[in-house]
Amino acid sequence: MIGFPLFPDVASTIATGVDRLYFFLTGITLFFTALIFFLILYFAVKYRRRPGRVAEQVGSDHQGFGLEIAWTVVPFFITLVMFTWGSSLYIANSRVPDQALDIYVVGRQWMWKVQHTNGRREINELHVPIGQPVKLTLASQDVIHSFFIPAFRVKQDVVPGRYVSMWFQPTRAGEYHLFCAEYCGTYHSGMIGRVVVMRPEDFQKWLGGVTEESPVRAGEKLFNDFNCVNCHSTGARQRCPQLGGLFGTDVMLEGGGTAKFDEAYIRESIVDPNAKIVKGYPPVMPTYRGQVSEEQLLNLIAYIRSLTPQKER
């Protein structure tokens, strides 16, 4: 290339759509900038002060009424086009496809830690297969970071204390930049990495041969170590809801209302158990804030998610 590309590589399904919108916005901006500057110059010359000419106010008695209507209504419709176009792209891009591949990402000063569902971990690198939707669930261990892959036209702020997700579908094999796009401290500029898009069979090969523990196994261990199992198991000592089969459902809450039993809800229930109590249970769970790291939380969630009513323990 010429060394200074105007736009990044186009490597995801939404990239072209985003680019088109940006070309449109840039085009509109350039057109009106040029028009306004041309008119300024033109009128400055045409109506310049000359001997024998008196300055007069234009549009005093409704002369310019039609003109005023025009320059209000025309921009109104142009901005409406921008609004509908932009929000339809946004909405399309915030719906995660059902069969998306799950990957967990934890940001911290100053690195991105990635974990795949089979346990494979990587740092400042993200391997993904081509042609398949990928859903990232992101958390931050300290401050706000922002996960940014220009070639995919996706960027998501990662806020401490909550989960956020983003998705994309790579369309071209290759290596692309990965940035942190939110100033997060001294080495923010070093919080970079690469995204490697591989053919599905290469990706499977890359994923395979893992010796690391899968998140579900690691989560099961934590579930026992933290004694979650004591209260959440069946039997005489059960004081808390059984967790099997709950993921993705709506749970009834104490005091009315429901909550979606998802990643965010599980996380909140672990660090702030009294925030949303399931109907019919006493508020007896202690908080685990400060005792579990973001990575451990993700493992616990993977485990709880894997539980079925039959597999209940």
Q: Please report, as ranges, the residues that interact with ligand CUA according to CB under 6 A.
A: 107, 110, 145, 180, 182-184, 188, 191
Considering beta carbons, is residue 83 or 183 the nearer one to ligand CUA? 183
Considering beta carbons, is residue 59 or 161 the nearer one to ligand CUA? 161
Strand pairing partners for 111? 108
Considering beta carbons, is residue 112 or 203 the nearer one to ligand CUA? 112
- The distance of closest approach from Cβ of residue 224 to ligand CUA in the complex, given in angstroms and rounded to an integer, is 34
Tokens of 62: 């409704």
- The distance of closest approach from Cβ of residue 185 to ligand CUA in the complex, given in angstroms and rounded to an integer, is 7
- The distance of closest approach from Cβ of residue 183 to ligand CUA in the complex, given in angstroms and rounded to an integer, is 6
- The distance of closest approach from Cβ of residue 75 to ligand CUA in the complex, given in angstroms and rounded to an integer, is 37
- The distance of closest approach from Cβ of residue 71 to ligand CUA in the complex, given in angstroms and rounded to an integer, is 42
Considering beta carbons, is residue 191 or 266 the nearer one to ligand CUA? 191
Considering beta carbons, is residue 184 or 300 the nearer one to ligand CUA? 184
Q: Which of 168, 147, 158 is nearest to 100 (CA)?
A: 168
In the chain, % helix, strand, coil (3-state, to 5) comes to: 35, 20, 40
Total H helices, total E strands in the chain: 7, 12
Tokens of 239: 């004081």
The H or E element containing residue 258 is: strand 258-260
- The distance of closest approach from Cβ of residue 145 to ligand CUA in the complex, given in angstroms and rounded to an integer, is 3
Considering beta carbons, is residue 193 or 215 the nearer one to ligand CUA? 193
Rounded CA separation 213/121 (Å): 10
Residue burial 222-259, b: 16+ Cβ < 10 Å; e: rest: bbeebebeeebbeeeeeebbebbebbeeebeeeeeeeb
**Amino acid (1-letter code) at residue 238:** Q
- Tokens 């702020």 locate to 157
Rounded CA separation 297/210 (Å): 21
- The distance of closest approach from Cβ of residue 104 to ligand CUA in the complex, given in angstroms and rounded to an integer, is 17
Considering beta carbons, is residue 177 or 313 the nearer one to ligand CUA? 177
Considering beta carbons, is residue 148 or 288 the nearer one to ligand CUA? 148
How far, in whole angstroms, is CA 93 from its chain's centroid?
10
Strand order in the sheet with 154-158: 125-129, 193-198, 174-180, 145-149, 154-158
Give the β-pairing of 134-140 and 164-168: antiparallel
57: left (phi over 0), alpha (psi -120 to 50) or beta: beta
- The distance of closest approach from Cβ of residue 194 to ligand CUA in the complex, given in angstroms and rounded to an integer, is 16
Considering beta carbons, is residue 191 or 198 the nearer one to ligand CUA? 191
- The distance of closest approach from Cβ of residue 223 to ligand CUA in the complex, given in angstroms and rounded to an integer, is 30
